[in-house]
Amino acid sequence: MSIDLYTWTTPNGRKVSIALEEMGLEYTSHSINIGQDEQFAPDFLKISPNNKIPAIVDNDNGMTLMESGAILMYLAKKTGKFIPQDEEGYFRCVEWLMWQMGGLGPMLGQAHHFLHFNPGKAAYAEERFGKEAKRIYGVLDKRLSETGAFMAGKEYSIADMATWPWVSRFEWQQIDLNEFPNVKRWYVEIANRPATKRGYDQPKYVSDIPMPA
């Protein structure tokens, strides 16, 4: 049996396809073109009531699930991979996953809206979210300097999978990764993982992972 992944070419969608590739799970990608409002289709709303991608159907047990963070935790539990099994390590991973879900993702999403898609329309918003993007990168850089490896510690985890696709749009956020050397080191290392490359290219289309200069 396999997992049906309903997704699009966004950071939240790529989190889950990267995780599925890393975990070696069989899955089928289904395009939900959010630019054409396909997320409002009645059949999709049955599995994602909040009309957001990604969402999954696990054909092993009939489980349907929306929200990328919840999906990552589900897949980690299903496979026993990419989340520490000791209590402290587990909650450190969840801590940084929640940081991405509640902070980095929403704030960088606002940076995309004002800095990339609508420049010149709201100077206050551009300044606010531009500064917040840099602050968030500073938090991540400090954390990675402390671990010397990944967000939850020495091992790659779902916290990294959740965060990396957002950082992959650093240019949209007007971020120079050279200002954040620990983030740059972490970013390049993950970008070069074969599973990252396969998962980034879902649903199938021609893509290239952006690499910092």
Residue where a domain stops, chosen among 29, 52, 81: 81
Contact in structure between 10 and 31 (CB atoms under 8 Å) = no
Q: Would you state the pLDDT for residue 206?
A: 66
pLDDT value at 207 more than 80: no
Q: 95-121, pLDDT tens digit by residue?
A: 999 999 999 999 999 999 999 999 999
Q: Where are the beta strands (DSSP E) in the chain?
A: 3-7, 27-31, 55-58, 63-66
Is 9 contained in some domain? yes
pLDDT value at 204 more than 90: no
**Residues 55, 126 share a domain:** no
Contact in structure between 97 and 72 (CB atoms under 8 Å) = yes
Q: 82-96, pLDDT tens digit by residue?
A: 999 999 999 999 999
Tell me the pTM: 0.96
Q: 132-180, pLDDT tens digit by residue?
A: 999 999 999 999 999 999 999 999 999 999 999 999 999 999 999 999 9
**Residues 117, 40 share a domain:** no
**Residues 146, 113 share a domain:** yes
Contact in structure between 16 and 5 (CB atoms under 8 Å) = yes
Task: Find the Cα–Cα–Cα–Cα dihedral 145, 151, 156, 161, rounded to 10°.
Answer: -130
Domain that holds residue 173: 87-193
